[in-house]
């Protein structure tokens, strides 16, 4: 599917024609430049590599500088490949937010906010064990039993326990495009998307 790379600006709300307030996310979407076109003959598969957000030359490796020079574009911070891109594109061509149209649905991929080490109540939605009275000690937010001792005498893989939460790749599908602002390169989608402000996002049709 074809798409673009973007950056999360933040959340707001807009009113639709019926006067209903809709929560939405504003994304700085493009312009993205074509940094490489992979073909079946040369690479064994077809895809289009896009670059987004200018980077300083001093912070870019020599190998990447040569890659960008070959495409005839300035160094970019974020590179993403899109398989099955709609329409023909040329090396160095810029693709703007007008790639999307209002009313269509997109899938947005990003890295969720990191929450650090969390317990089972926050991480998995456990109720917590026991009542808050009748001699309750300090086990209110404990996970409870994690397995039997005699058999199977081990803890099964995938047991929901406390641990690192967030900071993982998340894709939210079927987000409606509410507005496309070509002048400011902004895309407004209904609902929320993964990650904090200024996080990179991949928006696919």
Per-domain boundaries in the chain: 3-116+169-204, 117-129+139-165
Classify domain 3-116+169-204 at the CATH superfamily level: Translation factors (2.40.30.10)
Q: Name the pTM for this structure.
A: 0.86
Cα distance between residue 25 and residue 34, in whole Å: 26
Chain segment 67-125, per-residue pLDDT in tens? 999 999 999 999 999 998 777 888 989 999 999 999 999 999 999 999 999 999 999 99
Percent of the chain past pLDDT 90, that is, above it, reads 80
Chain segment 44-79, per-residue pLDDT in tens? 999 999 999 999 999 999 999 999 999 999 999 999
Residue 153 pLDDT greater than 90, yes or no:
yes
Contacts of 69 (CB under 8 A, 6+ apart): none
């Amino acid at each position: 599917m074809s798409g673009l790379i973007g950056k999360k600006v933040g959340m707001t709300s807009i009113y639709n024609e019926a006067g209903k307030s809709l929560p939405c996310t504003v994304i700085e979407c493009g312009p993205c430049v074509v940094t490489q076109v992979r073909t079946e003959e040369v690479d064994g598969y077809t895809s289009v590599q896009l670059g987004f957000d200018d980077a300083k030359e001093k912070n870019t490796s020599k190998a990447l500088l040569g890659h960008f020079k070959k495409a005839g574009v300035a160094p970019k911070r974020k590179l993403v490949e899109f398989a099955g891109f709609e329409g023909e594109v040329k090396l160095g061509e810029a693709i703007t937010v007008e790639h999307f149209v209002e009313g269509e649905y997109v899938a947005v991929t990003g890295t969720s906010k990191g929450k650090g080490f969390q317990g089972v109540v926050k991480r998995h939605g456990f109720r917590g064990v026991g009542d808050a009275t009748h001699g309750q000690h300090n086990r209110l937010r404990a996970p409870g039993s994690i397995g039997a001792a005699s058999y199977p005498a081990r803890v099964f893989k995938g047991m929901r326990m406390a641990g690192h939460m967030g900071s993982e790749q998340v894709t939210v599908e079927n987000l409606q495009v509410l507005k496309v602002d070509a002048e400011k390169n902004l895309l407004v989608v209904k609902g929320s998307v993964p990650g904090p402000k200024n996080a990179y996002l991949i928006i696919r049709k």
